[in-house]
Structure 1
């Protein structure tokens, strides 16, 4: 089992599912399963972009803040009578621009990605509050179908998340761009000497994470039907980071897996849902995410050390 990819993660997921089924009959219902998958779809889109970026040795802690700004902007545009098409384009363009700014700072100032994007995250949380004027903004029934309807029993949001994860996996596995990301994460200096345009690749990666943040923000807005202070932000970001790390993507770069990320997203979604169903205080949800992230980070380091000895 030690040599089977993600065997430990799958085993933990099975244990959590079985334990929850034994505790409550509500978990295994179709309605609940669909609800869980719809809820984790937003996190999955963010985590997909983060997997690609972290594989290249980068980090973006501002994706949750980007989601907050995108959701706030989209809500204001729709509530003031702008068309859905205009709102979607404007929101994703803004989110992409935010990602590119992060890329410019990280690439050309040599500020550590963690520091630069954490500063951006704090700034964006404030911008979102300014856009909303610290009050909830409803969009009525606009985008309701996208966020709540299904096709053949599968939520639209889940379809979008699966497509994003699949495209990310294909890019990482079969394209030059994906191979360059692995090379940059493995050793940026060697990658530069081998002819890879590291600066351009970094800008593209941060632009992609920005665009996916915008998409995730629109998905969240369509599901909730409104934007409120606190929507998105650091809690969403930490959940995405936890899912990526749990899935086996290296914090140091050079290794990443979309399948592992998808399993990590599902595991965290199932844990949160299980805590709700067995009526455990919601205060324990961030505790569980933090604990799982810490354990995954430690396991990552042990795995890296073991690989280095081989």
Structure 2
């Protein structure tokens, strides 16, 4: 009698673990494993510690942007200016550092100030100008990874265990109901876009530290697509009200490993962007299927 009970207990624990991970995250883990095995077979050095460090370093900046992009998407918004914001912060930090000679701290403070200003401006334009978010936002290795981890944990706790997080999900899920419940939607949206400006500034500072120079927009292009793709692949519904940081980080790891593998194999950057775009479209299609919504132009 003890055997069946023990087996049943283990089965229950496995079922509980799988349920906790969620179908979306399990799919991402599977895809990540396939990518690692595939490129590991094609290149002997792909799975080496040094290459994993390169992947982690490159994924840090994308990960920071994807985390805050997830928060924006959860509350029903979208910010496609994050790449430009990173470029601006990177150049500002480098310029202040080189022209004043006052040390790195002032350069970082200037970049953070620019990030706050740009993010708050985006939020004000969207809230008070009633402009669509997409249109409005158009106009050291261990240390870097630890920064990503700290930001990820902080945002995860904020979303999962605080009233602020619950209110953000409510705004994205049904803004009318949220307004009737007394949630200050405008205040939350301005705060969220300011947050993305701050984190974009941090990413810009890290980009400067990583490359040793100020990177203009051309040096940070494509980051917005990576951030949005990671958020969508991680389970954040682009219509709002759904998403989580765990799935986003798994998606960031998948994108980082895929990009590195394609680069090692000599695949042109253009086709890498095509692959990312295809992943984004796939994520959106899967979201539509899961939600049960009818595709446009198709019969019931």
Residue of structure 1 equivalent to 2:264: 277
TM-score (norm: length of structure 1): 0.85
Q: Distance in 2 between matches of 1:114 and 1:280?
A: 30
**CA deviation digits over 1:265-292, x for unaligned, max 9?**
1111000110122222333211111111
May I ask how many residue pairs the two structures share in their alignment? 273
Structure 2 stretches of 5 or more lacking a match? 1-17, 294-300
Residue of structure 2 equivalent to 1:232: 220
| Post-superposition offset of 1:83 | 2.2
Residue of structure 2 equivalent to 1:50: 69
Residue of structure 1 equivalent to 2:297: none
**CA deviation digits over 1:54-79, x for unaligned, max 9?**
10111111111110100011111111
The answer to whether the Cα contact below 8 Å between 2:61 and 2:206 also exists between their aligned partners in 1 is yes
Q: Distance in 1 between matches of 2:143 and 2:292?
A: 41
| Post-superposition offset of 1:4 | 3.5
The change in CA–CA distance for 1:98 and 1:158 in structure 2 (over 3 A counts) is same
Structure-to-structure mapping, 1:195-210, within 5 angstroms: 195-210=182-197
Structure-to-structure mapping, 1:24-103, within 5 angstroms: 24-80=43-99, 81-103=101-123
| Structure index of larger Rg | 2
| Post-superposition offset of 1:82 | 3.1
**CA deviation digits over 1:225-257, x for unaligned, max 9?**
012441213x11111111111111010000011
- The structure 2 residue matched to 1:248, chosen from 231, 235, 241, is 235
Pair 1:301-2:288 in alignment: yes
3-state secondary structure, aligned to 2:249: helix
**CA deviation digits over 1:189-240, x for unaligned, max 9?**
110110111111111111101100101100111001012441213x111111
Q: Distance in 2 between matches of 1:259 and 1:296?
A: 16
RMSD: 1.6
Runs of 4+ in 1 over 6 A off after TM superposition: none
Structure 1 stretches of 5 or more lacking a match? 120-147, 150-154
Pair 1:218-2:205 in alignment: yes
The answer to whether the Cα contact below 8 Å between 1:26 and 1:277 also exists between their aligned partners in 2 is no
Residue of structure 1 equivalent to 2:12: none
The change in CA–CA distance for 1:287 and 1:5 in structure 2 (over 3 A counts) is closer
3-state secondary structure, aligned to 1:6: helix
Q: Distance in 2 between matches of 1:236 and 1:116?
A: 17
The answer to whether the Cα contact below 8 Å between 2:24 and 2:234 also exists between their aligned partners in 1 is no
- The structure 1 residue matched to 2:41, chosen from 22, 25, 38, is 22
